[in-house]
Structure 1
Amino acid sequence: MTTFNSEDYKITKPFRLADYPTEVETSLKDKEKEKLLDEVQEPLSTWQDVLYAHNKYGVLICLQGMDTSGKDSLIREVFKEFNPRGVVVHSFKTPNSTELEHDYLWRHYLALPEKGKFAVFNRTHYENVLVTRVHPEYILNENLPNITHVEDITPEFWENRMEQINNFEKHITQNGTIVLKFYFHMSKEEQRKRLLRRLEEPEHHWKFSPGDLKERERWDDYMKYYEEAINKTSKPHAPWYIIPADDKEMARYMVGKIIWEELQKYTDIKEPDLDEKVKANFEVYRKQLEE
């Protein structure tokens, strides 16, 4: 397999995570997959320069997945050919005291890409309907009106929050931000192997956290809430893609190729024309430089 149909992984109707594979069947070797990614990186890098010159759109890439699903290494590999001035990566951790003094989307608004640039959210605003659903007690830190106990958090609260996220994404896309969202679909068994690797290989010890094992115990809850969130927030203007993540090399190629294919739909993004008066004086400028 050297190609795949991106639409097969795009969520356009209600779906079940259990129906999606965590690995793509392929006879390709890892080096061959890396070569395919290389072939995508070059035109993406060139397109980034055009985006920067056009200066009317920003691109937001959202990455979500369980611990060890490969988000960090994917960012390193997929975007390594980009001009550093044109891409910014944000990894959203537990909200700090300043962020908690604002609504939960505030810090994400601040991190949106400037026109002409890419922003990559490594973990995203969706943490606010994923981690907080598994641990609803975290909502109490937001100091919200009429919510003083976990029991105050009703199903309607989560419905409203999903709608707020949809409105947020609709607003930013209508104002020039291209939004693409990727869920890294990894099997529980593959996560077990990757966590063991962190324990067994000294150079990866620093990545291990006992907290990962606690979250792993809530695997089924996370799958349930991921499925619900994706079903309710995959829209034509801000689609979700389910990326089989057991094979890191294949996942990187798939994400890179999908980004490239989606961006090609924006045919109005072109290098701006040079002012005709400036063009008409090229010979004058050339003589000035030669002299």
Structure 2
Amino acid sequence: MNTDKYRVKPDEKIMLTTFSTSENDEYSQEELQKKMIPEAVQKLQELHLKLNAEEEKGILVVLQAMDAAGKDEAISYIFSNLNAQGLKTLTLGKPTEQELSHDYLWRIHDGLPARGEIAILNRSHYEEVIAPRVHEILKGEPLPDELIDEKIWETRFRQINDFERYLSENGFPVVKFFFNVSKEEQRKRLLKRMKDPQKNWEFSFSDVEEREHWDDYQKIFEDMLGNTSTECAPWYVLPADNEEYSRYIITIVMNELLTELNPQFPVISDEEREKLDEYIKKLEAEGGEKQGDAGQ
């Protein structure tokens, strides 16, 4: 798979209509479910285990989209298979009063990875250059008036790029996935949630209300993607109408990034090896096993 096809080039002015919402010319649904995704996830598990053991670098994963585009399902079907000790997830909603009393990047800090971790932001700091633009709510926030001018979004794009570069240069590369769902597919998924009693809890009335601003959101997404996809923190635009294929793309991109990082299991010293062999013999003696039998 050529993942560059889905990657937004730095400073590229894009139109989301040029990206397919349902592309999959390579594999059947059965191939994706039974072969391609399981094999890719297995490789991701192996690479993540090395990342976690090495404890040198961490990865920040950003998932951004309209409602019902598939973010939660991507977490469930891909990332939930990873070692829980090296995984963390933060889901962001409407800012709280406490969060609004700080700078807009403050609230994501608890969701950032430690060394050896993959951290997932289900919605993210990008909310602060999306919803406030659609609903023009900045003036209702406790910001100094002089900060709210016609250049505020340009300023925030620069600040976000600087922040993500800072993370990358400190050993925490950032990778970002935008779920490009069509309006019609979103309509079907929302109806499914609304009609199924077991899925009603996933539905919010605001999901339907936000559809009234669909065109505004698309323009803002294009601006966001074009201004914040960088070499150190790229955006990938997923054909989100096809959930299986989107999950496969995510897994392949993650595997490419981890392969580039090349994490390795730590190698113990000669002194530690001697002590390890000593303790193996001690435990084998306790259990009465012959030397080398334990674990067979």
What's the TM-score, normalizing by structure 1? 0.92
1:155 aligns with 2:120: no
Q: 2: distance between equivalents of 1:283 and 1:82?
A: 30
Displacement of 1:281 in angstroms is 4.8
Displacement of 1:170 in angstroms is 0.9
Q: 1: distance between equivalents of 2:280 and 2:78?
A: 39
Where structure 1 has 5 or more consecutive residues not aligned to the other structure, the ranges are none
CA RMSD of aligned residues (A): 1.6
Displacement of 1:283 in angstroms is 4.2
Write the mapping of 1:88-237 to structure 2, written as runs, cut at 5 A.
88-137=88-137, 139-146=138-145, 153-237=148-232
Query: Which residue does 2:291 correspond to in 1?
Result: none
What's the TM-score, normalizing by structure 2? 0.90
1:100 corresponds to which letter in structure 2? L
Q: 1: distance between equivalents of 2:81 and 2:97?
A: 36
Percent identity of equivalent pairs: 38
1:18 aligns with 2:17: yes
1:146 corresponds to which letter in structure 2? D
Deviation sequence 1:194-218 (CA, Å, 0-9, x none) = 1121222222222222211221011
Query: Which residue does 2:6 correspond to in 1?
Result: 9
Q: 2:268 aligns with which of 252, 274, 278?
A: 274
* Paired residues of 2:6 and 2:236 also in contact (CA < 8 A): yes
Q: 2: distance between equivalents of 1:33 and 1:153?
A: 47
1:290 aligns with 2:284: yes
Deviation sequence 1:225-284 (CA, Å, 0-9, x none) = 1111111110010000000000111111111111111221113x2112111222245543
Q: 2: distance between equivalents of 1:74 and 1:283?
A: 43
Deviation sequence 1:179-199 (CA, Å, 0-9, x none) = 100000011111111112122
Displacement of 1:142 in angstroms is 3.3
Query: What secondary structure is seen at the aligned counterpart in 2 of 1:108?
Result: helix
Query: Which residue does 1:33 correspond to in 2?
Result: 32
* Paired residues of 1:100 and 1:141 also in contact (CA < 8 A): no
Q: How many residues align?
A: 282
Relative to structure 1, the CA distance from residue 281 to residue 192 in structure 2 (aligned partners, 3 Å threshold; closer, same or farther) is closer
Relative to structure 1, the CA distance from residue 283 to residue 245 in structure 2 (aligned partners, 3 Å threshold; closer, same or farther) is closer
Where structure 2 has 5 or more consecutive residues not aligned to the other structure, the ranges are 286-296
Query: Which residue does 1:238 correspond to in 2?
Result: 233
